[in-house]
Amino acid sequence: MTVVTVSPKSQVVIPKEIRESMGIVSGQKVQIMTYQNRIELSPWKSIKELRGLFKGIDTDVKRDSDRV
């Protein structure tokens, strides 16, 4: 576990090891949210970057006979 300090301007530095493992580069946006009393950061990707993410996924849905 890595501990960081909040600056007087309420800023934190993401440690280099974590930035590199997540592919976060300077100037990139990250999404921040709270979840069950903790703060989570996720690399933000535009819709354009997500294109093709689910390529090849099976989209067939088995439906009930009354839902044809």
pTM of the model: 0.60
The residues pairing with 30 across neighbouring beta strands, listed in sequence order, are 43
DSSP label at residue 41? E
- What's the one-letter identity of residue 20? E
Domain assignments of the chain as residue spans, ordered by start: 16-45
pLDDT in tens, 46-58: 888 888 888 888 8
Summarize pLDDT for 22-55 with one digit per residue, the tens: 889 999 999 999 999 999 998 888 888 888 888 8
